[in-house]
Structure 1
């Protein structure tokens, strides 16, 4: 302890020198931390701006895709409506044609009643009626199948157009 009391000046100098160095180190550490914090803030800001720009581009693309799909849907529905209208017109024409054929058959049947071959004419008339009904049913089903095929084609083309619109 006596040695400590006699050599207190160099120890005090060493202690002061140590405290000054520690203070300088602490000050440098704070400056370095502040510099890194500023760099980190700039980095986060740049990342946020890039994310915002990406989101804006993605939203613009999504809106463009949705507009293309909406146009395709409108065109497809318009085409489907046209196919259905054509099918309805064809069905109406078949009904008119069947009415004309029936009127012709009844007129021929009435004329045949007065002849001596009325029985043969009646049998032929029944066979003709069965065949006409069979033909009419086949024609009706052909119309139904044609309408379904046309509608499927229109829907397929609309689907292709929608796919091409989002590529």
Structure 2
């Protein structure tokens, strides 16, 4: 047994070293996985930050387009209102100039309607022009909204 003792001790030392090296190798792999995991997490965080920055850029671009569209729409509506006022005034003045009698013809004829037919026609013409202005303004708004949508889509591409 005295002869076997050195072999047993050297075998035990070799076995202990073998287990120690195995444990150390596992720990090194764990550290390697942890490092790779940290690197992957850092890449994910960077990608998320880039995506958030791109989203903020897109939202800012759409807000800018929306503000420009609102200003453009306000200008269109104001121009249409001014143009409608001018058209109505001009049309009424022209009609009154052409159809008003030059002088008072005296008493009204029997069966003539009460009231001023030219005034009633001018009022009707004004109402029609208002409706035409409303339709034109609605069309202008729809056009401005469509152009805004196109610009927003183009800014996202």
Equivalent of residue 159 in structure 1, options 135, 145, 149: 149
Counterparts of 1:117-136 in structure 2, within 5 Å, are 118-119=108-109, 122-123=112-113, 127-136=117-126
Distance 1:119 1:164 in 2: 69
Gaps (5+ residues) in structure 1? 1-7
When Rg is computed on C-alpha atoms for both structures, the one with the higher figure is 1
CA-CA distance at 1:94 after TM superposition: 4.2
Instruction: After superposing the two structures, state which structure 1 stretch, 96-105 or 137-146, moved more.
Output: 96-105
Indicate the residue corresponding to 1:58 in structure 2.
51
Query: How many residues matched?
Result: 156
Larger helix fraction of residues? 1
Distance 2:37 2:100 in 1: 94
TM-score, scaled relative to structure 2 = 0.78
RMSD: 3.1
Paired residue secondary structure (2:109): helix
Q: Deviations over 1:52-103 (max 9, x none)?
A: 2212321221122122112201110111110111122123324533663686
Equivalent of residue 147 in structure 1, options 137, 146, 152: 137
Q: Deviations over 1:22-50 (max 9, x none)?
A: 31222111221122022112211221221
Q: Deviations over 1:103-158 (max 9, x none)?
A: 658x93583432x7x428x55x8555544433322211010000010011001101
Instruction: After superposing the two structures, state which structure 1 stretch, 32-41 or 75-84, moved more.
Output: 32-41
Distance 1:103 1:10 in 2: 139
Paired residue secondary structure (1:62): helix
Counterparts of 1:1-167 in structure 2, within 5 Å, are 8-9=1-2, 12-13=5-6, 15-97=8-90, 100=93, 104=97, 108=100, 111-114=103-106, 118-119=108-109, 122-123=112-113, 127-167=117-157
TM-score, scaled relative to structure 1 = 0.74
Distance 1:139 1:91 in 2: 7
Indicate the residue corresponding to 1:5 in structure 2.
none
